[in-house]
């Protein structure tokens, strides 16, 4: 269901616009939650930051520097393992 909905949205809006809207609305609905969308670039073995409305200035320097492997930072480890990761506050 979520995949079908996302496909419909992404046909109408550019990817960054759709992801930014999802992140902003999620952060507004759930105070204390911060959302960032990363793209897994498997060819380069790295994560690229796509959208982070609140955390952009903090995360942008890490874009392209987070490796995809089991000992990586949480998002690289999540892609490697296929399991969600939560960043501790």
Residue 15: its pLDDT value, please?
83
DSSP 20-56: HHHHHHHHHHSTT----EEEEETTTTEEEEEE-TTTH
Contacts of 82 by beta carbon, 8 Å cutoff, 6+ apart: none
pLDDT along the chain (89 residues), means of 10: 68 84 92 90 91 91 89 84 77
Q: How far apart are the first and last CA of the chain?
A: 31
Calculate ∠ Cα 38-47-88, nearest 5°. Answer: 65
Give the CA count within 13 Å in the CB-facing half-sphere of 16. Answer: 6
């Amino acid at each position: 269901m979520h995949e079908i909905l996302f496909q419909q949205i992404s046909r109408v809006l550019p990817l960054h616009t759709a992801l930014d809207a999802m992140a902003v609305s999620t952060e507004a609905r759930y105070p204390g939650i911060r959302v960032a969308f990363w793209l897994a670039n498997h060819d380069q073995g790295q994560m690229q930051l796509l959208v982070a409305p609140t955390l952009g200035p903090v995360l942008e320097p890490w874009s392209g520097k987070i490796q995809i492997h089991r000992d990586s930072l949480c998002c690289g480890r999540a892609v490697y393992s296929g399991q969600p990761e939560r960043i501790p506050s």
